[in-house]
Structure 1
Amino acid sequence: MSLKASKSLAVFGTSSGAGKTLLVSLLLKHFRKKGYSVAPFKALNISLNSGVGKGGEIAYAQIFQAKVAGLEPEVEMNPILVKPQEKDLYVVVKGKYRATVTVEEFYSQKFQEYLRNVIADSFNKLSKKHDIIIIEGTGAPTEINLPDLSNRYILKISGAKYLLVSDIYRGGSLASILGTVIILGRERFIGAILNKYSGKEDLIKPAMSIMMKRYGIKILGFIPYYEIVAPWEDGSDTVPSKYGRLKILFVRTPYMSNFTDAFPLFMYPDIGINFQGYVSDGYDLIVLPGSKVTVRDIKYLKSVNAEEELRNALKNGSTVMGICGGLQALGEKIIDNLESKEGEYSGLSLLKAKTVMNSSKVVANSNAKVLQGPSAGTLIKGYEIHYGITEHRIPFELIYQRNGINTFKQSGAYEGQVFGTYIHGIFENEIFTLKLLNSLRQKKGLEPISLSSVQHFEDIYENIYNNFRKFVDVQAIEDELGV
């Protein structure tokens, strides 16, 4: 099905974490099912969770949304990616590193004008290729004291009508909806959707009626509460814990990035998962995830006695794994004149490895072969986003392809109970993950997990989508959009 001209629909939240990414994904799925070519667009994403799309680095949320829409992710879907650092902002423009700036420099008139031009160019290019563009705002659109790029500005240049989504689980959502509409204006407002509603349908209907009668605010329905809905974006505090006899710990650090690597593990039965900011005993697998500033996170880990606690955990039979920055942190030293400008700094010394940070950044969709451990011989795929080269006598993987180009790069490190990889998304590889988990389960005397018992996120999402159709007036959205 094709429209005469691209149409656009914006989704704004009454706060960060309101459910914008989820609602955009559901709308993409809906219009794709109806036969439209539909694409996601987020002008600016402030996130340490990123991946690789066509053209370079973009936020992981837009990669996820592109997959829901049946599209190859590309940089036009998220032209501006901002990664907060200790004091500065690391700015990626159309997939490539642009600058590291202070907050004041970022909000300067000159830089804001430059970014607006980039956003308008990407939106126009994307609009020419698709029937419908679903726009996701950033944070909340009500911060009128700050220059705006991805809420009021994109609403202006796109001519889109907009939906609001609000997290009713937090409380105060109805007042937040009313206040947001007052600030944004009613002219292009379609209606609001309540996210994470856990009560019966009859209990919310009176509130919906009052909002319409008293304030002229249409509540289009609600999305029921789900623990697992879309890869997390705003912080690990949004990640739920999961109970299971095999226990996995992801160590949360101040500059932790790409903790979406944990997401696939929630699909496996009898796997307990926890995020916490310190290391403790009792876990079968302890994972140090990625880091935006590895040396700063090593300093934090040392301040919470992580080195000693990890050694104690190893003595008690735990396995320790590092992913990207986590791999670098596990080594003996890092020579860093780039990210932290600390020069030579000692790591946690659980691997006899050395990392040298250099100015050449690897941004690639990668294919590799696991060389060591219970998954040895398994082919995996994922993505790499890192500065630095790690030297170790026993590599964990052989990277044989980057961005479709054949290569031969030994990567990672392996020392039995302690190992590390540069491949983000590694747990999305079911065979690798099953072999790793089952080796840990065997060590603990637990029965193995079968492939048939692993949930598939597509099935979970289909259930969420069916309830979205059931409890939200989707027809009203279609009517306003004119499709």
Structure 2
Amino acid sequence: MTARTIMVQGTASHVGKSVLVAALCRIFYRDGYRVAPFKSQNMALNSYVTADGGEMGRAQVVQAEAAGLEPSVDMNPVLLKPTGQASSQVIVLGRPVGNLSAWEYHRSYAQQAWDVICQALERLKNTYDIVVIEGAGSPAEVNLQATEIVNMRVAAQAEAPVLLTADIDKGGALAAVVGTLELLPPADRQRVAGIIINKFRGDLSLFQPAVDFLEKRTGLPVVGVVPYFDSFAIQEEDTVSEATLAQSRQTVGRDLEIAVIHLPHISNFTDFDPLAAEPDVHLRYVGRGTPLGNPDLIILPGSKNTIEDLAYLQRSGLAGQIVQLSAAGTPVVGICGGFQMLGRELHDPERTESSIPCLNGLGLLDVITVFERDKITTRVEGMAAVADGLLEQCQSLPVSGYEIHMGRSRLGAGVRPAFVITSSLGVVVEQPDGAISPDGMVLGTYIHGIFDQPAFRRQLLNNLRRRKGLMPLTDVALLTAAQQRQKDFDALAEVVRGSLDMGLVYSLLGLPGPRRAV
């Protein structure tokens, strides 16, 4: 059987394509169809490790979860992870193939990747009932139309009708839709089957004249107007959104304040979503002139360019502030690249991540890291290896997540491993992970998703509460991050189903509608 296909493209980046694809995946899944997401090429620092150790973009992982599936690299066969100015690490079917400049990639390698993309798409089409495809940026980027492998070329290959999406919250949505259609070649223009207006605020009846204008001007139906929502959270694709940053700067009366350093190359920032969702936590991002203040916990996140981001911390003065606050007793946690920065030295002899061969770290942990060419990508389970400081009463509590790193860290005599890995890609192991300072107040780990397990997360937060003289919270709903995401997917599906003409969407797919009662 060959799957039916539909594609969501946008008038620009960040118009909400990824979330709409997740919504459609959830709707079709709940309607009784076997549905899979697909994005041929994704540029993002937010990645994930599949069950077999492949690396793929986080957005397609979210969409797969919405579809009730285990993520597969076929859903995102090409991932570009920016490493510096106009260059990226290229990951094909879950494995890195090297670092390429933008010119090298677009003029040469992208066409080599096309066969891989077509094969991955065909495997999905032969397995599922529906494939929901996401584009990237805008199909009207005329300088890239001859070599692009992610928008209209994919739509043609998949024989997919295209829903063109615009973000009205930014303003200029009508002009963006009309302008995009005007710039498309005739064959591509004919593939657009409908228009979606996304992130609408206000009285929908007042927008009806705009809908009428668009339909008359373009000859295309407006499939729906999707409202702006903030009562539930869907993970961001590739960067911390401006809305999230603005919200994090607001003064909130919560018991605990956690400061995440907003690095220039921050990666896997979804690690902190479970913390932000806790009722006693105000999580804010610090950087770009935002004062560090006096938080209850400082977190150094992952980075795709650890040494360059460490140099940024030193230039900006944030490094000195973190060291001073740590000396005064403020707990500090580093994850992956952030863990490496906490050490004494970082070495990149083969220029794997940076043009800087070596740099002194913050010196908060007795650790030396050396970057190597081979990347470690694995899913892990484990538990705390110590029971003091930040990890007091955590020793028997499970943690789980994934590792993505090219650095190997060697612990000195002044630290202990923070965790013990008990399973890696489903194989029983006993391996040390991370490091913790003698007083237990500085902690580093390679485990992304370390806060996903609710019992561990709540115990760590309660340890912070005790340090402030606050009573621990014991009546908090202990949902895993995955369980919370499932609830949010259902909420998203209801909002989008109620906003789109799903009869028209099913008609574009050539399907009669839901297979089971909704």
- Segments of 5+ residues of structure 2 without an aligned counterpart are 512-518
**1:408 match: secondary structure:** strand
Residue 73 of structure 1: aligned partner? 71
Secondary structure at 1:428 match in 2 = coil
The equivalent position to 2:422 in structure 1, one of 400, 405, 415, is 400
Out of 32, 47, 50, the position equivalent to 1:50 is 47
User: What is the alpha-carbon distance in structure 1 between the residues aligned to residue 217 and residue 112 of structure 2?
Assistant: 43
3-state SS of paired residue (1:348): coil
SS in 2 for 1:114: helix
User: Which residue of the other structure, out of 224, 228, 232, is the alignment partner of 2:236?
Assistant: 232
1:201 to partner: Cα distance: 2.1
Of 430, 446, 464, which aligns to 2:454? 430
SS of residue paired to 2:2: coil
Greater CA deviation, 50-59 or 213-222? 213-222
8 Å CA contact 1:284, 1:317 repeated in 2:
no
CA distance in 1, matches of 2:64, 2:125: 14
Where relative contact order (Cα < 8 A, 6+ residues apart) is larger, the structure is: 2
- Deviation string for 1:130-150 (max 9, x for gaps)? 111000011121112112110
After superposing the two structures, state which structure 1 stretch, 347-356 or 225-234, moved more: 225-234
Q: Alpha-carbon deviation of 1:312?
A: 2.7
Distance between the aligned counterparts of 1:450 and 1:232, measured in 2?
Answer: 30
Summarize the Cα distance change of 1:67–1:385 in structure 2 as closer, same or farther, 3 Å threshold.
Answer: same
Q: Deviations over 1:370-422 (max 9, x none)?
A: 12313222111100000122122401111121111222211101111110110
1:285 aligns with 2:297: yes
2:320 matched residue in structure 1: 308
Q: Which runs of 5+ in 1 are unaligned?
A: none
- Contact kept, 8 Å, 2:339 with 2:445, in 1: the verdict is yes
Write the deviation string for residues 324-376 of structure 1: whole angstroms up to 9, x where unpaired: 00000010111212322533321011111111222232101111111231322
**What does residue 391 of structure 1 align with?**
410
Matched, 1:223 2:260: no
- The code of the aligned residue for 2:233 comes to V
Counterpart check, 1:30 vs 2:17: no
The sequence identity of aligned pairs, in percent, is 35
Tell me, in whole angstroms, the C-alpha distance in 2 between the residues paired with 1:475 and 1:222: 15
TM-superposed deviation, 1:34: 1.1
Q: CA 1:368 to 1:280, structure 2 compared with 1: closer, same or farther past 3 Å?
A: same
The residue number in structure 2 matching 1:93 is 92
Q: Does 1:59 align with 2:57?
A: yes
Further displaced range: 155-164 or 267-276: 267-276
Counterparts in 2 of 1:2-401, with a 5 A limit? 4-55=1-52, 56-87=54-85, 88-108=87-107, 110-146=108-144, 147-184=147-184, 185-227=188-230, 228-238=232-242, 239-240=244-245, 241-242=247-248, 243=252, 244-277=254-287, 280-337=292-349, 338-372=352-386, 373-374=391-392, 375-392=394-411, 393-401=415-423
CA pair 357-64 structure 1, distance change in 2 beyond 3 A: same
Whole-Å Cα distance in 2 between the matches of residues 157 and 449 of structure 1? 54
Report the AA paired with residue 230 of structure 1: I
Q: Is the 8 A contact 1:164 1:193 kept in 2?
A: yes
1:435 match: secondary structure: helix
What's 1:439 paired with?
Answer: 463
CA contact (8 A) 1:16 1:234 kept: no
Q: What amino acid is aligned across from residue 223 of structure 2 in structure 1?
A: L
How far does residue 268 in structure 1 lie from its aligned partner after superposition? 1.3
- Report the Cα distance in structure 2 between the residues aligned to 1:296 and 1:140, rounded to whole angstroms: 30
Distance 1:476 1:287, change over 3 A: same
Distance 2:177 2:149 in 1: 21
Question: 1:90: how far off?
Answer: 0.7
Aligned to 2:515: none
Which region of structure 1 is more displaced relative to structure 2, 127-136 or 335-344?
A: 335-344
Q: Structure 1, residues 94-126: CA drift from partner, whole Å, max 9, x if none?
A: 000112111111112x42221111111111111
> Is the Cα–Cα contact under 8 Å of residues 51 and 425 in structure 2 kept in the other structure?
no
How many residues matched?
A: 479
Question: Which amino acid in 2 is paired with 1:320?
Answer: V
RMSD of the TM alignment (CA)? 1.8
In structure 2, distance between residues paired with 1:303 and 1:313: 17
Structure 2 residue identity aligned to 1:141: P
The answer as to whether partners of 2:286 and 2:292 remain within 8 angstroms in 1 is no
The 1-side partners of 2:226 and 2:275 are apart by 24
**1:316 Cα deviation from its structure 2 partner:** 4.5
Contact 2:11–2:165 (8 Å) recurs in 1: yes
The one-letter amino acid of 2:264's match is: P
The answer to whether the 8 Å contact 1:280/1:313 transfers is no
Q: How far is 1:450 from its partner? A: 3.9
Letter aligned with residue 154 of structure 1: V
Task: Return 238-247 or 269-278, whichever deviates more.
Answer: 238-247
The C-alpha deviation readout for 1:192-213, integer Å capped at 9, x for no partner, is 2222112122222221122223
Aligned equivalents of 2:238, 2:433: Cα separation in 1: 30
Q: Tell me, what secondary structure is at the counterpart of 2:70?
A: coil
Deviation of residue 442 (structure 1)? 2.4
> Does the aligned pair in 2 maintain the 1:335–1:344 contact within 8 Å?
yes
Change over 3 Å in CA distance of 1:214–1:105 after alignment to 2: closer
Between the aligned partners of 2:304 and 2:335, the Cα distance in structure 1 is: 12
* Structure 1 stretch displaced more, 260-269 or 220-229: 220-229
8 Å contact from structure 1 (residues 247, 272) kept in 2: yes
Contact residue 281 and residue 309 of structure 1 kept, 8 A: no
Q: 1:155-184, CA deviations, whole angstroms, 9 ceiling, x for partnerless residues?
A: 111110011221111000111112223334
Find the aligned partners of 1:254 and 1:264 in 2 and give their Cα distance. Answer: 22
Q: Distance in 2 between matches of 1:107 and 1:400?
A: 42
Question: Matched residues in 2 for 1:362 and 1:112: separation?
Answer: 25
CA separation of 1:183/1:446 partners in 2, compared to 1, >3 Å: closer, same or farther?
A: farther
